[in-house]
Amino acid sequence: MNNKETTYSEDLFQYIKVSEDEDDSNAVEIPCELNGTLLLSTLVAQFPGACGLKYRHPESKCIRGLRLSDGRLHPPTEAGWGKHLYICVFPKENKRKMEDVSPENSAAKTKRLEKKLICSDLICLGLPWKSTEESIKKYFDQFGEVVMVQLKKDKNGSFKGFGFIRFATYTSQMRALAQRHNIDGRWVDVRIPNSKEGVVPQMPCKVFVGRCTEDMTADDLREYFSKFGEVTDVFVPRPFRAFGFVTFLDPEVAQSLCGEDHVIKGASVSVSSAAPKIKNKNNQNWKEESYGPNSWDGNRSGPPGGPSNNGGNSNIDSLNMQNLGINPNGGGPPANFNLPISLVAAALNQAGWGGFLGGPNNSGPGNWGQNGPPQGGNSGKNLNNNGSWNQNGPPPYWNQGNNPNWNGNKNGNWNQGNWSNGQGWGGNSSGPTSSNSGWNKPQT
């Protein structure tokens, strides 16, 4: 593909030795990419909080830093990585040992970590009654090492249906937060606990990709951007809108790409923050230019035929805060949102909330109620206190009227109509797909 790949061809899948200091007894061998670079996300997966690499040059005896670009660390020379022991670089305020990530920190260390919290406990809501700490640990081990599971019980010792987990690494946590969870047939919400609001940094993982051409599919974007880091979601609106969204597992990868131009399928696309533009706080009309870096409107951001105006004030500042990494209310829509929730959901899902807002997005809803896809017909209680969907799902009008694309039936199930048939949300990887089946599955 390029010269570097040729140059480093002997080093395909090469592992390099990385340690936190010059003592290599704790070194970890981590894999490089095909083109000879090392993804920062790969490094961070093993060394949470790491921001770079350095090594001691054998001749000069000096410490040399490695070049970091586009979320990738580059080998020190054209000859490749050599046999050096590479040493992690941590942000100055965050210099610490791996053990510090564990919850058993001293108070002083914990305080120092507050500036850049690596992991948080995560709350798991809606766990099956039959869950045990062992079974929950076993389930979440697929996302990375689970260092804590606490299932909450009442005074009688009976399980209350929720609990807390903690991963060893931020990457594992991100991975778990980035998708839905079906445990023993139940949809389980995994979220940052309310108690961690505003404490745990919620960096935006989603970028806006502008100047897309019509022949660029979600798969094209995924394939291209995967070389920078693990892609957890891609959204390409159809009909053609000349933009898309790509969500990375690692927010640092997302940030590193912002402001860059990239060539995909012979066309230059621009990558920028997915944070929505603020136009007019009052009377948001969700039309052209009112949202998104390059203009996109609320009408088309949801399935065609969805509600088209809001009829109320909105709290877009909160929305943007979320996109900018501020998490005022635990990841759900602002509690005082006055927009029709359908629009909010449609817009937010594309505005960078993919991993945290429930909705047709394979980042997965942390916030759908226990019944998974919304059930129709309710008395207006559509949001719980966190602004998440409750069991009743969105308002009845999602399922009524002349909006066949929102739902082909009125019984409130999302498993029919066009959610998965190529219209509206369907037809791209952001809608309910086989990889996130369960949109169709009622929960008891």
Partner DNA sequence: GTTGAGCGTT
Closest CB to DNA among 285 and 384? 384
- Is the CA virtual torsion 383, 388, 389, 391 positive or negative? negative
Interacting stretch for DNA, rule CB under 7 A, among 252-260, 303-311, 382-390, 417-425?
Answer: 382-390
Binding mask 210-239 for DNA (x = CB under 7 A): ------------------------------
Contact partners, residue 18, CB within 8 Å, separation at least 6 = 27, 28, 29, 30, 43, 46, 47, 53, 85, 86, 87, 88
Nearer to DNA, 210 or 330 (CB): 330
Candidate ranges 111-119, 156-164, 303-311, 406-414; the one touching DNA (CB under 7 A):
156-164
**Among the listed residues 129, 138, 219, 267, the single contact to DNA using CB under 7 A:** 129
Binding test (CB under 7 A) with DNA, winner from 67, 95, 115, 160: 160
Is residue 15 at the binding interface for DNA, with CB under 7 A as the rule? no
Would you say 148 or 203 has its CB closer to DNA? 148
Cβ atoms within 10 A of the Cβ of 25, count?
A: 6
355-374 residues in contact with DNA (CB under 7 A) are: 369-370
Residue of 388, 405, 413, 415 interacting with DNA (CB under 7 A): 388
Rank residues 310 and 443 by Cβ distance to DNA and give the closer one.
443
Q: Residue 293: what residue type?
A: P
Closest CB 400 distance from DNA, rounded Å: 22
The type of residue at 173 is Q
Rounded Cα gap, residues 152 and 170, in angstroms: 23
Distance of CA 309 to the CA centre of its chain: 28
Nearer to DNA, 144 or 330 (CB): 330
Q: Binder to DNA among 386, 418, 420, 423 (CB under 7 A)?
A: 386
Q: How far is the CB of 278 from DNA (least distance, A)?
A: 27
Residue 402, judged by CB atoms within 10 A of its CB (0-12, 13-18, 19+), counts as: exposed
Residue number with CB closer to DNA (195 or 421):
195
Among 17, 116, 196, 211, binds DNA (CB under 7 A): 196
By CB under 7 A, tell whether 186 contacts DNA.
yes
Distance, CA of 175 to CA of 299 (rounded, Å): 30
CB of 279 to DNA, least distance (A): 31
385 sits near DNA (criterion: CB under 7 A): yes
Cα–Cα distance, 392 to 368 (Å, whole number): 10
Answer yes or no whether residue 378 interacts with DNA by CB under 7 A: no
Question: Using omega within 30 degrees of 0 as the cis cutoff, is the peptide bond preceding 239 cis?
Answer: yes
Closest CA to 225 of 248, 250, 198: 248
Nearer to DNA, 243 or 414 (CB): 414
Q: Shortest distance, CB of residue 344 to DNA, whole angstroms?
A: 17
Q: Quick check: 194 binds DNA (CB under 7 A)?
A: yes
Q: Which stretch binds DNA (CB under 7 A): 52-60, 185-193, 341-349, 417-425?
A: 185-193
Q: With CA atoms as reference, report the closest residue to 250 among 209, 208, 203, 210.
A: 203
Q: Judged by CB, which is closer to DNA: 143, or 389?
A: 389
The Cα 240–Cα 257 span in angstroms is 23
- Describe the chain by its helix, strand, coil percentages, rounded to 5: 25, 20, 55
Q: Is 330 in the site for DNA (CB under 7 A)?
A: yes
Query: Within 54-113, which residues bind DNA (CB under 7 A)?
Result: 103
Structure tokens at 68: 């970091």
Closest to 327 measured CA to CA, from 169, 168, 112, 177: 177
**Interface with DNA: number of residues (CB under 7 A):** 34
Q: Which helix (H) or strand (E) holds 4?
A: helix 3-7
Q: Does 265 bind DNA (CB under 7 A)?
A: no
Q: What's the CA gap between 291 and 1, in Å, rounded?
A: 37
Chain positions contacting DNA, by CB under 7 A:
103, 120-121, 123, 125-129, 148, 150, 152, 158-162, 164, 186, 191, 193-196, 330, 369-370, 384-386, 388, 390-391, 444
